[in-house]
Amino acid sequence: MTRQANIFAGDARMVHEEAVELTLQSLKAYWSEHRHKAVAWSGGKDSTLLLTLLIHLIEAGELTQPDVLRVYYADTRQELPPIQAAAAAIMAKLAQRPWIDLQVVRAPLDKRFMVYMLGRGVPPPNNGTLRWCTRQIKVDPMSAALASALAGVEGSILMLTGVREGESAVRDGRIAMSCSKDGAECGQGWYQQVLPDSPGIRGRVATLAPILHWRVCNVFDWLVAFAPMREFGGWDTRILVDAYGGDDQARDIAARTGCIGCPLASEDIALNVIVAMEGWTHLTPLLELKPLYRELRLAKHRLRKSEPEVLKNGKLSSSGQRGGPLKLEARSWALSRVLDIQTRCNDAAARLGRPGVDILNAEEEERIRELIAARTWPNKWDGSEPSMDAWLDRKNPDGTVEPILFRELVGA
């Protein structure tokens, strides 16, 4: 019997034996090169596979147990309820292992999604000109946590990620361009020695994606069949599978999950699947979030500039009619809508004894109200600007002037 067969001894199916073996080889290739080890954990299927498999391999003696394994849970405050519930259960088991240092990483209060949007007035993100969310609520907080961990200690840190081919065409392109960077081979995972644009950690952090080669069917095999078994850790990952359609549909749908009602996604596939499943129908009000974010981008809810602005290079902007932040009344209205959606979900959850929703807590609500009361605006805005749906005078080539709505002028 091979070493890997010993790891998966028993009646469990071994359909992903090769995938595990390649992951183990990838980890062993770099494990001893870095003094510190860490895992970036989003709570999603891929990073949860990585985390639970890594702990199993360590406890099975396949990898040397580090003095400390740092686990950074990226809490965006906007995750799907099955992911939140599964993460809570997994964190409880992580706390039973004294050699694991679990840190919940969140953006500072004023940079969190709801506070930044409804308190400061920054419009919901979009894929065109204003994609502010990912870096602000996920990337920057993780970089700050790493910088804090490395302050005052020697050596580099190996950051393990759940990046996997097939999840995103754009991501696959980045992997293809850099899979041989820093001496790595494709079979050893995606290894990079530098996290770019990260002050305080540059040159001291290497990232490794040891499950790069896993197929989605293998991922769900682990989460559904293996991880819950006692010999592999007894992890409560079955509820996580609900976020992807449950045992029967997960492999076929394989929907990528993100924030609830993500404004950047053309369709909220994961949430649609979840609310159609038995035991999760009480979350149906969450389907109202995406239309709400779309509504907030309309001209009637926003201000605009009325004249050109001075750019960083000292020149004037080509257009003096830039669309801008949410009006104060729009923010208050949207806050009440979000709270109503969350309340309806949680009231139903309490009646049914099911997991509820926590996308806007009391601290965040209070801060939003404070910022609205203080008439807070994004940089270079003061609230005196005209409404984005105000009429403008457009000068025609023949010299005549005609009134036109701003949204028609810019195609908003």
What is the secondary structure of 140-158 as a DSSP string? HHHHHHHHHHHTT--S-EE
Q: What is the pLDDT of residue 122?
A: 95
Q: What is the pLDDT of residue 201?
A: 62
Q: What is the pLDDT of residue 229?
A: 94
The distance in angstroms from the start CA to the end CA of the chain is: 65
Which helix (DSSP H) or strand (DSSP E) does residue 218 occupy? helix 216-221
By CB atoms closer than 10 A (0-12, 13-18, 19+), residue 5 is: exposed
Q: What is the pLDDT along the chain (412 residues), one digit of tens a residue?
A: 344 444 444 444 434 688 899 999 999 999 999 989 999 999 999 999 999 999 999 999 999 999 999 999 999 999 888 889 999 999 999 999 999 999 999 999 999 999 999 999 999 988 777 788 888 998 889 888 888 888 878 888 899 999 987 544 434 444 333 344 444 443 444 565 555 455 556 567 888 999 999 988 889 889 999 999 999 999 999 888 887 876 655 554 555 557 888 888 888 888 888 899 889 999 999 999 999 999 999 999 999 887 766 667 767 666 666 889 999 999 999 999 999 999 999 999 999 999 999 999 999 999 999 999 999 999 989 999 989 887 665 566 766 766 555 544 444 4
pTM: 0.80
Strand partners, 303: 387
Sign of the four-CA dihedral 253, 254, 259, 263: negative
Q: What is the pLDDT of residue 320?
A: 63
Structure tokens belonging to residue 357: 């929703």
Write the DSSP assignment of 292-343 as a string of letters.
Answer: HHHHHTSGGGEEE-SS--B-TTSPBPS-S--EEEEPHHHHHHHHHHHHHHHH
Task: Tally Cβ neighbours within 10 Å of residue 313.
Answer: 5
Q: What is the pLDDT of residue 246?
A: 64
Q: What is the pLDDT of residue 61?
A: 96
Torsions phi, psi of 102, nearest 5? -90, 130
Question: Any idea what the Cα angle at residue 395 is, between residues 392 and 398, rounded to 5°?
Answer: 155
Q: What is the pLDDT of residue 344?
A: 98
Q: What is the pLDDT of residue 360?
A: 96
Quickly tell me which residue has 């073996």 as its tokens: 21
Buried b (16+ CB within 10 A) or exposed e, 353-385: ebbbbebbeeebbebbeebbeeebbeeebeeeb
